[in-house]
């Protein structure tokens, strides 16, 4: 993938501050957004397993479970290692039964090459989503995290993520919870760089994480 340069990201962040001044404090306090700026050495498979683990969990809890699974798998989240682990072993390190099933199906699809990972760099977001969501346990949120943090796509708006909504509420000092549908509409004014907006919403609530 083509990386987003530091100067390009700074330009995007300046635009965000111009479009919504409520983001200025977190922009000043946090590092420059890293989405699309780091060339990852992690495989598509490893990133998807991490996203499955992270579903509906706080960042720190997800990081802890992932670290335990890495140790259990011999130091690396690879399909040929994970396939040797039982669902019971996965549950022992904190992976739920449903997530264990999702990881097992992803592992089988990877080993059988049912998922065409080698084509992803040239595919549109919706085409990647269509392919991945055919697998049990992989839904919109998991695909969004994959597109943002692994493929570096800047135009993802994950309004279904609770921490994104809490961050938005915190930055805008809202007294009531914002509905995903309402935030989805608001996000249209950030067209093309919604991922960056989401990243700063996360920083406002979750702080730092090994996930990014």
Average pLDDT on 10-37 reads 97
Summarised one tens digit per residue, pLDDT across range 120-175 is: 999 999 999 999 999 999 999 889 989 999 999 999 999 999 999 999 999 999 99
Q: What is the pTM of this model?
A: 0.83
Summarised one tens digit per residue, pLDDT across range 43-80 is: 999 999 998 998 888 889 999 999 999 999 999 999 99
**Tell me, what's the pLDDT at 38?**
85
Domains 6-38+155-206 and 44-149 share a fold: no
Q: Which fold has domain 6-38+155-206?
A: Endonuclease Iii, domain 2 (1.10.1670)
Instruction: Decide if pLDDT at 211 tops 80.
Output: no
Buried b (16+ CB within 10 A) or exposed e, 8-44: ebeebbeebeeebeebeebbeebeebebbeeeeeebb
pLDDT band at 40 (very low <50, low <70, confident <90, very high): confident
Instruction: Decide if pLDDT at 110 tops 60.
Output: yes
Which candidate, 54, 111, 55, places its Cα nearest to that of 81? 111
Domain boundaries, given as residue ranges, for the chain:
6-38+155-206, 44-149
Return the number of other C-beta atoms located less than 10 Å from residue 75's C-beta: 9
Average pLDDT on 22-29 reads 97
CATH number assigned to the domain covering 44-149: 1.10.340.30
């Amino acid at each position: 993938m083509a990386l987003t340069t530091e100067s390009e990201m700074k330009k995007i962040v300046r635009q965000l501050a111009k479009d919504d001044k409520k983001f200025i404090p977190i922009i000043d306090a946090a590092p420059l957004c890293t989405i699309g700026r780091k060339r990852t050495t992690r495989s598509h498979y490893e990133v998807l397993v991490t996203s499955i683990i992270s579903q509906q969990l706080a960042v720190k809890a997800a990081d802890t479970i992932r670290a335990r699974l890495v140790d259990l798998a011999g130091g690396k989240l690879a399909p040929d290692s994970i396939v040797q682990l039982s669902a019971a072993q996965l549950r022992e390190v904190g992976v739920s039964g449903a997530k264990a099933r999702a990881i097992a199906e992803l592992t089988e699809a990877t080993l059988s090459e049912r998922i065409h990972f080698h084509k992803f760099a040239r595919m549109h977001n919706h085409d990647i989503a269509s392919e991945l969501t055919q697998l049990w346990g992989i839904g919109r949120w998991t695909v969004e995290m994959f597109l943002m943090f692994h493929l570096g796509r800047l135009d993802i708006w994950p309004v279904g993520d609770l921490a994104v909504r809490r961050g938005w509420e915190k930055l805008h000092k809202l007294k009531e919870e914002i509905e995903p549908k309402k935030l989805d509409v608001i996000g249209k004014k950030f067209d093309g760089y919604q991922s960056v907006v989401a990243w700063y919403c996360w920083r406002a609530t979750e702080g730092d994480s090994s996930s990014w």
